[in-house]
Amino acid sequence: MISRLFGTTTGIAVLAMLVSSLVTSVAYADGPEYSYIGISYEWTDVKNGMNANVDERYNSGDFTGENIELSIGILDWLHVTGEAFGYLDGSCNNCNTNVDGSFSDADVESIKAGVGINLGLDKIGLSENADFVLRGNYIYAEVSDLNITSPSDVSDDGWSVEAMIWGRISDRADVFVGYEYERMDEVRNRSATIGLNYIMFGSVSAFTRGIIFDSETGFELGLRWQFGQLFD
C-alpha cells in the first residue's frame, strides 16, 4: 500500500490554499493548454475504476504502469481526452494467487476516453488564467491471470466524472486541483488530486500528479508535448 501524502484535515487545508491561489487574478500571458500528448509512469492503489482494497479478486495489491494520454482542444471551451494505461508494462502487483498460495503479479490494461468543458473563471470576475473544468469519461479495464478461484481474465467497464480548477501560477507552470468519482461494477472510487505541469523548454513540460488524501493514493510522473500552437 502506498502511504497517503496528507491526512484528511491537512489535505483539505492544502486544497483550500491551492484553490484560493488559483482563483485570485494574476497577470500571466496564457491559461491552461488543452492540446497535448504525454507519457508517464504511475504507482497507484486505484486506477480507472479498479480498487484492489474493494475487489477481493485483487488480493489488496496495487497497480503500476505507463500512461499514454492525448488531449485535443476542439473549441475554446471544449476538449476531448484519451488515455491508455498498462499496454506496454502494466502490472497488478501481488494480484495473482499461485497454486501454492503465494502471490505474484498479474497483467493490467485500461483505457479512459472522455469529453470536457473548460470555462474561464474571468467570466465570474475571478482569475483570467484559470478555468473550471468538468469532464465525463468512459472507462474500461482488464486484468489477466488472477487468482485460481476466479476466471483467468476479468474485464469491466464503467464511467467517471471529474471536476477541477486548472490555471497558470507562473509563465512556465500551471497547477490543477480536482476531484474524480469513478464507478465500475461494485467499485466506487473517490479521489481528490493535485497536479503540476512545468514547461522545461519549448513546448515540452514535466508533469506530476498525486492523490493528496484518501485511504488509497497514488503518484504519477511524466512528460508532455503541448501542440496547441499548431492550431493558431
pLDDT in tens, 63-76: 999 999 999 999 99
Residues 161, 117, 164, 227, CA torsion sign: positive
Determine the average pLDDT of the residues in 45-53: 82
Does residue 100 lie in a domain region?
Answer: yes
Does residue 3 lie in a domain region?
Answer: no
Determine the average pLDDT of the residues in 51-56: 70
What is the CATH number for 216?
A: 2.40.160.20
Per the listing, cell 499496454 goes with 87
Predicted local confidence at residue 121, as pLDDT: 85
- Average pLDDT value over all residues in the chain: 82
Does residue 17 lie in a domain region?
Answer: yes
Using DSSP's 3-state secondary structure scheme, residue 181 falls into strand
Would the pLDDT of 173 be above 80?
yes
**Distance between alpha carbon 134 and the CA centroid of its chain, in Å?**
14
Confidence of residue 61 (pLDDT cuts 50, 70, 90): confident
Determine the average pLDDT of the residues in 223-228: 94
Does residue 2 lie in a domain region?
Answer: no
Does residue 173 lie in a domain region?
Answer: yes
Would the pLDDT of 29 be above 50?
no
How far is residue 158's CA from residue 181's CA, in Å, rounded to a whole number?
11
Determine the average pLDDT of the residues in 8-33: 53
Per the listing, cell 484553490 goes with 19
Predicted local confidence at residue 209, as pLDDT: 93
- For residue 62, what is its C-alpha cell? 496495487
Number of domains making up the chain: 1
Does residue 146 lie in a domain region?
Answer: yes
Range of 26-35, 71-80, 205-214 with top mean pLDDT: 71-80
Domain that holds residue 222: 8-231
Q: Which of 2-11, 131-140, 203-212 has the lowest mean pLDDT?
A: 2-11
Does residue 138 lie in a domain region?
Answer: yes
Q: 0.85 exceeded by the pTM?
A: no
Predicted local confidence at residue 55, as pLDDT: 66
Confidence of residue 54 (pLDDT cuts 50, 70, 90): low
Does residue 59 lie in a domain region?
Answer: yes
Determine the average pLDDT of the residues in 124-146: 86
Residue 110: exposure state from Cβ atoms within 10 A (0-12, 13-18, ≥19): buried
Would the pLDDT of 175 be above 50?
yes
Interval 76-113: pLDDT, tens: 999 999 999 999 989 988 887 777 777 888 889 999 99
